Chains A and B, each alone.
Chain A
Amino acid sequence: MTRKSRRMYIIVVAFALLASATALVLTAFEDNLVYFYSPTDLKTKQVTVGRSLRLGGLVEEGTFVKLEDGLSIRFSITDGAESVPVSYKGILPDLFREGQGVITEGSLNEKGDFIAHEVLAKHDENYMPAEVIEALKATGEWRGDEEGQTTK
């Protein structure tokens, strides 16, 4: 095997790998990009029922309800302009409370309710998800400083 044919072999294998990886990535992107929506986005944009997405905003004051089984939870997420009812079953993150910024992942059902299968745990109470800040700024509800630290 000469140097030239070795180089050809390497290039062919590398390209084959690159091509298959690109194909994998492109098909995976198709289904697995999870877009972020604010409650306003959700009301104004067309969203397919059942498509996985992220919904973020503030947990609306006075909407948090625990159902009879002690595990199912309902609350609303608001960005000041619109509000979307969310239902979730499971343990909430330690830092979850009303008025707090939150991101949930799940999908819309036919009635326009958001069924969350995950409520994202944030690791720090001062921390406000950047997506939520942006959504709040869009509706003029943002009251923190520029850097995303609400208190301190």
Chain B
Amino acid sequence: MIAELGQFALIMALLAAISQSILPLIGAERLDSRLMAFGSHASLVQLLFVILAFGCLTQAYIVSDFTLLNVAENSHSTKPLLYKISGVWGNHEGSMLLWVLILAVFGAAVAAFGRNLPVTLKARVLAIQAMIGVGFLTFLIFTSNPFTRLLVPPENGQDLNPLLQDPGLAFHPPMLYVGYVGFSVAFSFAIAALIEGKVDAAWARWVRPWTLTAWIFLTGGIALGSWWAYYELGWGGWWFWDPVENVSFMPWLMGTALLHSAVVVEKRNSLKVWTILLAILTFSLSLIGTFIVRSGLLTSVHAFAVNPERGIFILILLAIAIGGSLTLFAIKAPALKSGGIFSPISREGGLLLNNLLLSTACATVFLGTLYPLFMEALGGGRVSIGPPFYNKTFIPVMVPLFFLVCIGAYLPWKRADLVGVLKRLKYAGLAALLALLIAWYISDGGPLLAILGLGMAAWMLLGTLSEWADRIKLFRVPLAKSWQRAKNLPGSSWGMTLAHGGLAIAIIGMISTTAWKVEDVAVLKPGETISVAGTDYRFDGVREITGPNYSAVEATFNVSQDGEYMTTLKPEKRLYTVKRMPTTEAAIYSTFIGDYYAVIGDQDGKGGWTVRIYREPLVTWIWFGCTLMVFGGLLSLADRRLRVGAPAEKRKKKKVREAEV
């Protein structure tokens, strides 16, 4: 019965979404306040029904209801509870339902938090948001129904792909989806603004928090995914330029550009047309990302099914969404009035350059990801494009951006004095040079490009810190006063420092582990020792262990340096009983300066085991840097200034200010 209830809830949600996408639009045209208000109510109703549907599917997974095709194909009664729940979105149908759920949450959030939005703008935003919902709900109901029953239910399920049975991956898809779908709000705002024919500072102030929220989650989701790849795949790599990674990275690049250009609209009422275009492109890339992955166009662990019917549906949806919005943009954008003018050397100029570089970088990734598809469609044979391509295209485009980050942060609005800015950065520059020399000394020569890269990252980090120190007048006024200034810095300013600094730290990690990673493979008998990068790994043999739904061989390594015991590593080789699928569980000992990473392979039949050892210098800096970026985003989101802007809020703010005094 519960599955039928879920099915019914989905259809009700679709009906709510259809009416929500039509009535408020008419209301906004006729200035009929009742029709416009309908949008808010409908978005709540839609959310309630989607929650109900999602709850029904989750319940079916928890009680292992194998009369549902979806549950039978992707779950098993012995699976731990966490993975029963994460199994809900570990498959095509369920992940689409999660998508729709997050979309509905964002729609209802706009309705609930957007009390001070102009009524016509709000009505239109909700209508556009609902149109996206209609597209996805139809897709879900007609081609990917998660509630399909089986006539003859099996005794037990086929289990979830063991690689997905991991805490990192349980939360990776929801986070990524909140990121993807969050950009739908910026998109809806952009389309609504095009219909209204008006973009102003207030508009940017409403769009920015939504974009920032999406960006925070997308950053976290990508970082989590790369961390998972690092410890779960057992190859010691954290980024493979795999098409599936790229499709999540492209909206991130565009979303980052959008975040920066929205600042210019807000502060200087300039770059409006460009910002609207970015909002459309960012969400279009999110859509392409979702669909490319889910349609099975790109084959990988993420592609759940290859189904022509779905593929065509997806293509039509993409054509309507992207084609339609770009057409509307072409018609309406020229009518938008452009705002304040600025000189090329100014904060606006810097942010524009940031945008151009990010979009160019995104374009190179786009080409690399989709070129094999075009090539095949045109009958040019099967090709693949690997990391060397991106090293030669993406990285050269990003390097100037990294160089300019801290300079841009120093530039004032309208026009700036570049020489003056560079003078203020001289200590950062000198310190970065020193860091470069230290890196060169420590690495004993080493690859030149990597050392230069480290110097660049140090420049970025130190320049960012120097800007922060200047702001709080560190060492120029008494420390207590600096502390006072630091406390009074707006959240968005802290956010910028943390995000830029975090990026620099992540880059240091990426460069170090790429350039100085040490890897060794050997066949060891119990008792034998292998030495990798100055560390001894003594192989102490293996034992058999059993988990809830797998059996495994667990090896023990005694890790020591110069005879001094450091840690014990216990990598496993698991065999998941239902799917008969082996997986590798690496054992990792993380320290500030690097990771010690051990993997156990096959038996050679003569008492020896293949083992693989990696030494990954500074690899944890990557995820530490990403965490800082997320944290910076959160601080910026908490900035009170972002929520100010309408008369109703001003009154409230006054009260707050009085209370603070």
Residues on A facing B (Cβ under 8 Å): 1-3, 6, 9-10, 13-14, 17-18, 20-21, 24-25, 27-29, 31-36, 54, 66, 69-71, 89-92, 94-95, 105, 121, 123-125, 127, 129-131, 134, 147-148
Across chains A and B, which 10 residue pairs bring their CB atoms closest together, nearest first?
Answer: A70-B523, A36-B382, A123-B301, A28-B392, A32-B389, A94-B582, A91-B601, A24-B393, A32-B388, A70-B604
Question: Which stretch of B338-346, B533-541, B589-597 is in the interface?
Answer: B338-346
The stretch of B135-143, B355-363, B447-455, B476-484 in contact with A is B355-363
Contacts of B163 in A (CB 8 A): 123
Whether A95 contacts B364 by the Cβ 8 Å rule is no
The contact string, 1 if C-beta is below 8 Å from chain A, for chain B 376-387, is 000001111110
- Quick check: is B299 within 8 A (CB to CB) of the other chain? yes
Asked if B109 is an interface residue, CB under 8 A from chain A, the answer is no
Task: List which B550-581 residues lie within 8 A (CB) of chain A.
Answer: 573, 579-581
- Bound-complex Cα distance A92 to B602 (A): 9
B363 surroundings in chain A (CB, below 8 A): 21
* B352 lies within 8 A of A10 (CB): yes
Set of chain B residues within 8 Å of A14, measured between Cβ atoms? 356
Q: Do B344 and A17 touch (CB < 8 A)?
A: no
Contact B342 A1 (CB under 8 A): yes
User: In whole angstroms, what is the CA distance A83 to B584 when docked?
Assistant: 30
Q: In whole angstroms, how far apart are the Cα atoms of A27 and B161 in the complex?
A: 39
- Known contacts A6-B342, A24-B397; is A13 also within 8 Å of B353 by CB? yes
Contact (Cβ within 8 A) B341 A36 = no
Report yes or no: A129 in contact with B299, Cβ–Cβ below 8 A. yes
User: A74 CA to B570 CA in the complex, in Å?
Assistant: 30
Question: Could you say which residues of chain B place their CB within 8 Å of the CB of A66?
Answer: 604
* CB atoms of B383 and A33 under 8 A apart: yes
CB of B612 within 8 A of chain A? yes
12 contacts between A and B (CB under 8 A): A1-B344, A18-B360, A24-B397, A29-B389, A70-B604, A70-B610, A71-B521, A71-B522, A94-B584, A124-B301, A134-B382, A147-B307
CA–CA, A71 and B604, complex, Å = 9
Contact B393 A28 (CB under 8 A): yes
Q: CA of A82 to CA of B579 in the docked complex: distance in angstroms?
A: 32
Tell me if A127 and B299 are in contact (CB < 8 A).
yes
Chain B hits for A105, CB < 8 A: 386
Q: A91-B601, A94-B582, A129-B299 are in contact. Are A17 and B523 (CB under 8 A)?
A: no
Using a CB–CB cutoff of 8 Å, the interface residues on chain B facing chain A are 161, 163, 233, 235, 299-301, 306-307, 338, 341-344, 352-353, 356-357, 360, 363-364, 367-368, 371, 381-386, 388-389, 392-393, 396-397, 521-523, 573, 579-584, 599, 601-602, 604, 608, 610, 612
Contact residues in B for A124 (Cβ distance below 8 Å): 161, 301, 581
Chain B residue contacts of A89, Cβ below 8 A? 521
Q: A54: which B residues are within 8 A, CB to CB? A: 382, 384
Chain B residues whose CB sits within 8 angstroms of the CB of A129 once the complex forms: 299
Known: A3-B338, A91-B612, A123-B300. A36 touches B384 (CB 8 A): yes
The smallest C-beta distance from A17 to any residue of chain B, in angstroms, reads: 5
Q: How far is the CA of A71 from the CA of B392 in the complex (A)?
A: 32
Most buried by A among B352, B382, B522: B382
The chain B residue sitting closest to A26, CB to CB, is B393
Provide the main secondary structure of the chain A interface.
mixed
B299, B356, B582 pick with most chain A CB within 10 angstroms: B299
Other 18 A-B pairs with CB < 8 A, given A24-B393, A94-B583: A6-B344, A20-B397, A24-B397, A33-B384, A34-B383, A35-B381, A54-B382, A54-B384, A90-B521, A92-B601, A92-B602, A95-B581, A105-B386, A123-B161, A125-B581, A131-B382, A147-B306, A148-B299
Q: Bound complex: CA of A36 vs CA of B342, how far in Å?
A: 51
How near does chain B come to A112, taking the closest CB pair, in angstroms? 21
Q: A32 touching B521 by the CB < 8 A rule?
A: no
Cβ-neighbour of B343 out of A1, A25, A27, A130 (below 8 A): A1
The answer to whether B364 touches A24, judged by C-beta atoms less than 8 angstroms apart, is yes
> Known contacts A27-B392, A36-B382: does B233 contact A21 (CB below 8 Å)?
no
Are the CB atoms of A31 and B356 closer together than 8 Å? no
Q: How far is the CA of A152 from the CA of B48 in the complex (A)?
A: 37
Minimum CB–CB distance from A88 to chain B (whole Å) comes to 12
Contact pick for A125, options B357, B393, B580, CB 8 Å: B580
Assess A32 versus B392: contact at CB under 8 Å? Given A6-B342, A21-B397, A95-B582: yes
* Cross-chain contact B610 with A71 (CB below 8 angstroms): yes
Whether A3 lies near B341 (C-beta < 8 A) is yes
Instruction: Answer whether A32 and B385 are a contact pair too, CB < 8 Å, given A71-B521, A130-B299.
Output: yes
Name the residue of chain B whose CB is nearest to the CB of A28: B392
CA of A33 to CA of B610 in the docked complex: distance in angstroms? Answer: 33
Inter-chain CA distance A134–B381, complex, in Å, is 11
Q: Is the CB of A21 within 8 A of B356?
A: no
The one of B341, B371, B584 that contacts A2, using a Cβ cutoff of 8 Å: B341
A25 surroundings in chain B (CB, below 8 A): 364, 367-368, 393
Contact of B389 among A28, A94, A148 (CB under 8 A): A28
Write out the residue numbers on chain B whose beta carbons fall within 8 Å of the beta carbon of A31: 388
Q: Complex formed: what's the CA distance from A10 to B583 in Å?
A: 52
CA distance A89 to B364 in the complex (A): 33
Beta-carbon contact of A70 and B608 below 8 Å: yes
CB-based nearest B residue for A12: B344
* Measured CA separation A123–B244 after assembly (Å): 13
